[in-house]
Structure 1
Amino acid sequence: MRVSGSDLRLLQVFDAVVRNGGFAAAEPELNVGSSTISNHMAALEQRLGFTLCHRGRGGFRLTERGQAVWDASRQLDKALQDFTADVAAVRGELRGELRIGVLDAIWTDPANRLADVIAEFGRVAPQVRLVLGQERPQDMQQKVADGLYHCAIGSHRDRVEGIEYDALYEERHSLYCGRMHPDFDTPDDALTDARLAALPFVHRGYWREEDSLRSVDWRIEATVYQIEPQMILIRSGRFIGLLPDHYARAAVAAGELRAIRPDEIGYVCTFELFSPSGRRTSDITAAFVETVRRVWREETVAVAA
């Protein structure tokens, strides 16, 4: 199938339908009615030769082939965005799209300078459109290596081939319980490893750093994949769990959380800038990476002074 201009329009309609979860839900974004969207989808399916989705009383659902086409169409859209940026660079302009991956629950960390970087980059490249996507740590590096993100800022356990790493700052995690927890007022010296091992623990499913705390055999009774739902479970009083200290600070000050044996239990994550290595990057990506390095370097110099 050789992709034409009309095919790109059909794929744009298909993408909007998938992201919004149905024909009717995609109407506001596409600014057309359901019947027109249906005609576009039928034309795309006829062009491809197979069914992309099921729609009816059971709701909207992609077929296996539909999922594969949607994944491919997203890759195509990103390639077109990168082409636009490359052509602009030939003209000596920084214009196009920059896709950045980030982790959740980072804005409360004073050591995270991403907002300062974005402000500075806006002065360097005001015509670049930014796309920030929240990702899990184990997915972020591979998506940079695959080109889904131009770069990312996060932490990791294992390095991935094709990624260049720049260490930026450290984030400490400690063990917390909520005000309604039975041991909220229990002194630290009474919260022995054996006692902690008997308490329900909420585990972050993508992160295994708590496994390094071998003195405690955690009783995992809840699993989350973002920090905010973990905070909710801990504040409920049913669970203990590890949280970033900066994220918990306000709740601690308000008397809603307490740290448990903070001098003994916890770990430190190193946050790094992930950018592609071994292949050419766009001028936009190079400018952003340089901005990150410059802003963090200036902060390091200021702290040292």
Structure 2
Amino acid sequence: MDLDLRLLRVFVAVVEAESYTGAQITLNVGHSTISLHMSDLEKRLGFRLCERGRSGFRLTEKGRTAYEETKRMLAQLDDFAGSMAGLKKRLAGRLVIGMVDCLTMDPRFPLALALREFNELDHDVHVELVVSDRLDLERAILSGHMHGAIVPYVRDIGGIHFRPLLEETHRLFVGRGHPLFSKTAEEILEDEVLKYPFVMRGYRQPFDEEYFPALRYHATINNMEAMLVMLLSGGYVGFLPEHYARYWVERSELKPVECKSLVYRSRHQWATSISKSAPKAPAFAAFSKVFERFLEPDAR
């Protein structure tokens, strides 16, 4: 029923805002109205969805399952709406795509151009672009909440198809005020670099620990923007993509540290679901035709 769908959308908004208060902005309704809707939904479902108190907002085990199933159902409804619109020769529905942060500084990054070409089509598609970390994007694809995402390739994953898109080179950088900033490449020895505090990337912690075990980690970040702030402070050494660091290097706020053994390439790929349980959403099928020409030939 329409009422059930309305209540479920309120539930999703509450979960994603992590509180009733936060959901007020998204839903544009008052706290008491949200509380009433959540109470009604729990009565209709027959179980408690969340706990609220001094310890904060927390989903129950059944609530967590209900959230995942609700997101999957709403995504299917959006795809259904798009399919029905397609029968009228009108492209509609919802297109949900994702990417990791700080790719837009790379001149080879094609997403803006692909969206421009897609928007030249006659359509009523609602596009949602999500910026998140790799693991969350992969989970969203597997659960059916997202159609596709641009992510660093780490390994093959059952249920996801990866297509090469671009590579980015990551190097060590330091900020103005760091002891290494004023030294030339010839003056810097790798053993000396290893003595300084490094920033660990929380979203790539296993990778950093495995491939760079000798580094002394004194700080942790969870996105590139945070890494940039730490490096600009002048107190740490850390990895940044060359294209992202270029702006601050040209302004003498950052400087690359030349260490050949501490350089690596990150392969970014276009990740999509290979599940055959449901037909491809018309909006995503149309976008895929546009995006296809930016991808390398599929050798798999």
By the TM > 0.5 criterion, same fold?
Answer: yes
Q: 1:65-123: CA deviations, max 9, x gaps?
A: 33332232222211211211122223332101011010101111111011000100001
Could you say which residue in structure 1 is the equivalent of 2:283?
Answer: 284
The more displaced of 27-36 and 156-165 is 27-36
Which structure 2 residues correspond to residues 15-30 of structure 1 after superposition, within 5 A?
Answer: 15-30=12-27
Could you tell me which residue of structure 2 aligns to residue 76 of structure 1? Answer: 73
SS across alignment from 2:123: coil
Structure 1: distance between partners of 2:43 and 2:3: 13
Distance 1:277 1:29, change over 3 A: closer
Question: Among 185, 188, 193, which residue is 1:191 paired with?
Answer: 188
Query: In 2, distance between residues paired with 1:262 and 1:92?
Result: 57
Number of the residue aligned with 2:199? 202
* CA positional deviation for 1:32: 3.5
Q: Which amino acid aligns with 1:49?
A: G
Q: Tell me whether 1:170 sits opposite 2:177 in the alignment.
A: no
Task: Return the letter of the residue paired with 2:219.
Answer: A
Q: After superposition, give the CA deviation of every residue in 1:20-76 in whole Å (9 maximum; x if it has no partner).
A: 343344334434433332222221111222222333555544333333322322222
Show the counterpart of 2:147: 150
Aligned ranges for residues 1-305 of structure 1 at < 5 Å?
4-56=1-53, 59-207=56-204, 210=208, 217-261=214-258, 265-277=262-274, 279=276, 280-295=279-294
TM-score, normalised relative to structure 2: 0.87
Stretch of structure 1 that moved more, 103-112 or 183-192: 183-192
Q: How far apart are the structure 2 equivalents of 1:212 and 1:189?
A: 28
Q: CA deviation at 1:158?
A: 0.2
Cα shift at 1:227? 0.6
Aligned-partner SS, 2:186: helix
CA contact (8 A) 2:190 2:259 kept: no
| Residues 29 and 187 of structure 1, relative CA distance in 2, 3 Å threshold | closer
Residues 1:88 and 1:33: Cα distance change in structure 2 (over 3 Å): same
Q: Deviations over 1:228-285 (max 9, x none)?
A: 1011111111210110111100110111100011666411122222223352422222
Instruction: Determine if contact 1:152/1:274 at 8 Å carries over to the other structure.
Output: yes
Amino acid in structure 1 at the alignment position of 2:186: D
Find the aligned partners of 2:240 and 2:114 in 1 and give their Cα distance. Answer: 25
SS in 2 for 1:133: strand
Instruction: Give the AA of the match of 1:165.
Output: F
Moved more, 115-124 or 278-287: 278-287
Name the SS for the 2:76 alignment partner: helix
Q: Is the 8 A contact 2:201 2:208 kept in 1?
A: no
User: Aligned partners of 1:162, 1:60: CA distance in 2, in Å?
Assistant: 32
Structure 2 CA distance for aligned equivalents of residues 71 and 278 of structure 1: 17
Is the contact made by 2:163 and 2:269 (CA closer than 8 Å) also made in structure 1? yes
Counterpart of 1:7, as a letter, is D
| TM-aligned CA distance change 1:277 to 1:157, over 3 Å | same
Cα drift, residue 226 of structure 1:
0.6
- Measured after TM superposition, the shift of residue 209 of structure 1 is 5.2
Assess if the C-alpha contact under 8 Å between 1:248 and 1:257 holds in 2. yes
Distance in 2 of aligned mates of 1:248 and 1:121: 30
Which amino acid counterpart does residue 224 of structure 1 have in structure 2?
A: I
Distance 1:34 1:238 in 2: 44
Letter in 1 for 2:151: G
RMSD after superposition = 2.4
CA contact 1:113–1:296 (8 Å) conserved in 2: no
For 1:294 and 1:116, how far apart are their aligned partners in 2?
A: 11
What's the TM-score, normalizing by structure 1? 0.86
